[in-house]
A and B are shown apart, each in its own frame.
Chain A
Amino acid sequence: MSLIEITEVRKSFGDNEVLKGINLDVEPGEVIAIIGKSGSGKSTLLRCINGLESITSGSIQVAGAQLLDDELHLKALRLKVGMIFQQFNLFPHLTAGGNVMLSQMVVKKVAKADAEVMARKMLERVGLAHKFDAFPDELSGGQQQRVAIARALAMQPIALLCDEITSALDPELVAEVLAVVRELAREGMTLLMVTHEMKFARDVCSRVVFMHQGRVHEIGPPEEVFANPKTPELRQFIGMVDETV
């Protein structure tokens, strides 16, 4: 059984069908890049996987936890998949350490001392052990995003969803965040990332999903997808991206 099973998922916003029957199975330890033009539904797909958007039809399962639209099922699912956002979304009223500790204590009822040990460990993992007491507005964008990764990791998820996590960063800060993600991939974390970092996708990912108009248009290992695009849409997309790089 696959770790994440996405079966015939459809999602509409009003009359606008954004996902038109998505099928995707993700094995443990896979690193998947979802690429495509804006409006192709890639972020929506990611948001559906952890229940931030409800799906219109189809089913999503993560390690046996079914996506259903009630708080109990959502919580069970969200304990298995963490999510990192484009805008970091750190809690501004808490320190970096507090950000990483909060959900452990509130959701998992971990004792404060244990949560702190875990928080220090996770901040160390993203190279920010020394920023434990810093508030988010005292950190650079790259540092904030690394704290966000530590915060998700502290919940010990079995998969991480990354929604354009470097898109809001200044160019010189992108590398430090990608280095952390690369390290996670090496350690065997299952990752699904919507990204515009084509080089990163080529180097790190096991499979690339090209989405077009709400469908999985092409899927395969990066060397195949990038070197040998089968459809004109993907060829055009890769051409477009390469010109900008």
Chain B
Amino acid sequence: MIEFTLWDILRNLLLAARWTIVLSLVSFVGGGLVGLLILFLRISPKTWLNWLARGYIELFQGTPLLMQLFIAFFGLGLFGIDVPAWLAAGVALILWSAAFLAEIWRGCVEAIAKGQWEASASLGMGRLQQMRYVILPQALKIALPPTVGFSVQVIKGTSLTSIIGFVELSKAGSVVTNATFLPFTVYGLVALLYFALCWPLSKSSQILERKLNVAHRNH
């Protein structure tokens, strides 16, 4: 029987952790872009756009991410479309993140006083100009801490993609366990690596929140 050193295990996990990071980044950035679009629909004065966005958000927040991954991976297969695991993982996570980010940001936009909309409207600005120059710069400040906080959820969410066969940190964990029969060591290291990724983010979210101290400004 081959002996595995701790370094052998860690090295393989670290290599796989790269894919966790890549998938997280893609999901977060892609989810942010799609989320921005959903946000604009969600706060649009046109009711049907509003309902469209609302339906989207309800759908993705109201079903488990795992089901969404299954549907993206197996569902499209039923129609003869062969979806590789990385693509299904990326698409599902982007759509899922978008729903949550759009809803977080909607709260931030709605936290901006109504007077800001009225003042900018009375100066002749159109809706997009109001958003771009008046509302979003203020909403961004409020949005930063919860957005950074949500990135932690994205990183942990990527672990589910192991089930459809995408080899990231969790999947590598089970592969390495199968070879070494050292589940406690391997999964302990996996957990530590997740923690090393997530903790700095939640910490910076807290620091940002305190620094921007949004709730207590202007009062």
Q: In the complex, what residues of A have CB within 8 A of residue B141's CB?
A: 93
Q: Which of A18-26, A100-108, A122-130 contacts B (4 or more CB under 8 A)?
A: A100-108
Q: Contact at A103–B120, with CB atoms within 8 Å? A: yes
Could you tell me if B133 and A52 are in contact, using CB atoms closer than 8 angstroms?
Answer: no
Q: Is the CB of B122 within 8 A of A91?
A: no
Contacts of A79 in B (CB 8 A): 124
Knowing A52-B118, A85-B118, A85-B119 touch, does A91 contact B134 (C-beta < 8 A)? yes
A83 interface neighbour in B116, B122, B129, Cβ under 8 Å:
B122
Q: Which residue of A lies closest to B129 (CB)?
A: A106
Residues of A within 8 A of B137 (CB): 93
Q: Size range of the interface on A?
A: 20 to 34
The reply to whether B129 and A107 contact each other, CB–CB distance below 8 Å, is yes
Q: Which A94-145 residues have C-beta < 8 A from chain B?
A: 102-103, 106-108, 136-137
Report, as a range, how many residues of chain B touch the other chain.
20 to 34
Q: Output the least CB separation between B113 and chain A (Å).
A: 8
Give every chain B residue within 8 A of A206 (Cβ-Cβ).
none
Q: Which residues of B contact A148 (CB under 8 A)?
A: 119
Q: Can you list 27 contacts pairing A with B, beta carbon distance less than 8 Å?
A: A50-B122, A51-B121, A52-B118, A52-B121, A74-B121, A75-B124, A78-B121, A78-B122, A78-B124, A83-B118, A89-B113, A89-B118, A91-B116, A91-B119, A91-B134, A92-B138, A92-B218, A93-B137, A93-B138, A93-B141, A102-B123, A102-B133, A102-B134, A103-B123, A103-B125, A106-B125, A106-B129
Residue numbers of A with Cβ under 8 A of B are 50-52, 71, 74-75, 78-79, 82-83, 85, 87, 89-93, 102-103, 106-108, 136-137, 148, 151-152, 155
What 5 pairs between A and B have smallest CB-CB spacing?
A89-B119, A103-B123, A89-B115, A83-B122, A107-B124
Residues of B that sit less than 8 Å from A by CB: 113, 115-116, 118-127, 129, 133-134, 137-138, 141, 217-218
